[in-house]
Amino acid sequence: MSKILLIGCGHMGTALLMSWLNLKAYSFTVVDPYNFIKLKKQFKSKKINILKKTPNQKDMKTFDIIIFAVKPQNANDVLNEYENFELKKNALIGSIIAGKKINFFKKRIKNTNQFVRIMPNMPALIRNGISCFVSRSNLSLNNKKKLNELFLQVGKTVWLKSENQIDKATAVSGSGPGYIFTLIHAFEKAAQKLGFSKSQSRDLISSTMLGSILLIQETRKEPNELAKEIAVKGGTTEAGIKNLQNNNIDKIIFKTYISAYNRAKLLGKKN
Ligand SMILES: NC(=O)c1ccc[n+]([C@@H]2O[C@H](COP(=O)([O-])OP(=O)(O)OC[C@H]3O[C@@H](n4cnc5c(N)ncnc54)[C@H](OP(=O)(O)O)[C@@H]3O)[C@@H](O)[C@H]2O)c1
């Protein structure tokens, strides 16, 4: 049985934990001082040890994997609480915290050399996420196997080569669901302005989104090829697409990624 300590159990921590619970080979301990009561209620019937404060030295030495899932703004204070513990041999330190580099953890947690950065995304909650990883080359095969086992529970896994790439993945897939929800909200508001009800708008737009993604997957055609097939000359789709292009949709999307990427780099520089 591998023992996992999850430090911080907010939106992302909860999404991961929900899918991990049926894994028989793992046991879970969660530390979240501010949401202790809520988590106790939420996971009442489940076999999770929920703690209000940092475990003691004796317990810390029993964990095989320690995952930091707090906000970047809290990372420094939280790490201060964990830096002096002696850990189990080959204990794996994982972090899903945006921007924070492996060195940030390595500088503080001295008695293991097993570190990994993970960037999951919110659809993990329904096991349809994608998680990116980056580690130093010394990550043991055993730890890599466990990470794959855990994160395949919540969707796809992608191993990247550099921390720079994981900051970019943070901007693309980590933050990605946030952009998609923002776009869907804008589509829905616009459909309502045209006179559709809220529920009609939801139906029209979510079916269109989902159907379009499935069409790309099934036909394996390029999205711009599919767009061209629909946008016949002088037709309605062509008129709509022209408006997106005239307003520089490509530039808007690229700037969205760059803004998030720059933010990830900045978060990495702090502390
Ligand atoms: N949400 C996403 O889609 C997503 C995707 C990929 C990666 N991430 C990363 O995941 C991390 C967590 O994001 P989130 O959205 O889950 O944030 P969140 O909902 O704020 O979760 C963080 C949790 O940590 C708790 N916390 C604060 N101080 C703590 C401490 N000293 N010890 C233990 N727990 C503590 C927070 O309590 P309070 O709320 O009371 O402060 C909160 O419950 C972030 O670093 C983010 O970059 C998030």
Query: Which one of 135, 154, 171 terminates a domain?
Result: 171
What's the CA-to-centroid distance between 199 and ligand 1, angstroms? 32
Percent of the chain at pLDDT > 70 equals 99
Residues 164 and 49 in one domain: yes
Does 271 score more than 70 pLDDT?
no
In this predicted structure, what is the pLDDT of residue 244? 97
* Residue showing tokens 């269109």: 208
What's the CA-to-centroid distance between 6 and ligand 1, angstroms? 11
Query: Does residue 121 line the site of ligand 1, with CB under 6 A?
Result: yes
**How confident is the model over 98-106, as a mean pLDDT?**
96
Residues 241 and 183 in one domain: yes
Residues 137 and 241 in one domain: no
Does 138 score more than 90 pLDDT?
yes
Q: Per residue in 8-41, pLDDT tens?
A: 999 999 999 999 998 999 999 999 999 999 999 9
> Residue whose CA is closest, atom 19 of ligand 1?
10
Residues 113 and 32 in one domain: yes
Cα angle 134, 138, 142; round to 5: 85
Distance between CA atoms of residues 62 and 31, nearest Å: 15
Q: Strand ranges (DSSP E) for the chain?
A: 2-7, 26-31, 48-51, 65-68, 92-95, 114-119, 129-135, 155-159
Residues 104 and 193 in one domain: no
Q: How confident is the model at residue 94 (pLDDT cuts 50, 70, 90)?
A: very high
Distance between CA atoms of residues 140 and 88, nearest Å: 14
Whole-structure pTM value: 0.95
172 burial level (CB within 10 Å; 0-12, 13-18, 19+): middle
What's the CA-to-centroid distance between 7 and ligand 1, angstroms? 9
Percent of the chain at pLDDT > 90 equals 95
Residues 182 and 119 in one domain: no
The CATH number given to whatever domain includes residue 160 is 3.40.50.720
In this predicted structure, what is the pLDDT of residue 269? 86
Query: Which one of 171, 193, 208 terminates a domain?
Result: 171
Given the CA of residue 34, which atom of ligand 1 is nearest to it?
A: 40
Given the CA of residue 13, which atom of ligand 1 is nearest to it?
A: 16
Residues 52 and 162 in one domain: yes
Query: Does residue 8 line the site of ligand 1, with CB under 6 A?
Result: yes
**How confident is the model over 92-105, as a mean pLDDT?**
97
Q: How confident is the model at residue 47 (pLDDT cuts 50, 70, 90)?
A: confident
Nearest to 131 by CA among 103, 106, 160: 160
Domain around 78: 2-171
Q: How confident is the model at residue 267 (pLDDT cuts 50, 70, 90)?
A: very high
Q: Give the distance from CA 225 to its chain's centroid.
A: 30
Does 256 score more than 80 pLDDT?
yes
Residues 133 and 45 in one domain: yes
In this predicted structure, what is the pLDDT of residue 22? 87
Residues 184 and 84 in one domain: no
Query: Does residue 71 line the site of ligand 1, with CB under 6 A?
Result: yes
Residues 151 and 193 in one domain: no
Query: Does residue 122 line the site of ligand 1, with CB under 6 A?
Result: yes
**How confident is the model over 43-69, as a mean pLDDT?**
94
**How confident is the model over 86-100, as a mean pLDDT?**
96
211 burial level (CB within 10 Å; 0-12, 13-18, 19+): exposed
What's the CA-to-centroid distance between 144 and ligand 1, angstroms? 24
Angle at which helices 223-230 and 198-219 cross, to 10°: 120
Helix, strand, or coil here: 169? helix
* Residue showing tokens 């379009």: 212
Distance between CA atoms of residues 123 and 18, nearest Å: 12
Q: What secondary structure letter does DSSP report for 127? A: T
The CATH number given to whatever domain includes residue 239 is 1.10.3730.10
Q: Per residue in 141-189, pLDDT tens?
A: 999 999 999 999 999 999 999 999 999 999 999 999 999 999 999 999 9
Residues 15 and 148 in one domain: yes
Query: Which one of 111, 146, 171 terminates a domain?
Result: 171
Domains held by the chain: number: 2
Residues 212 and 161 in one domain: no
Specify whether the CB–CB gap between 59 and 82 falls below 8 A: no
40, 49, 71, 154: which to mutate for ligand 1, most atoms within 8 A of CB? 71
The amino acid that residue 99 corresponds to is: G
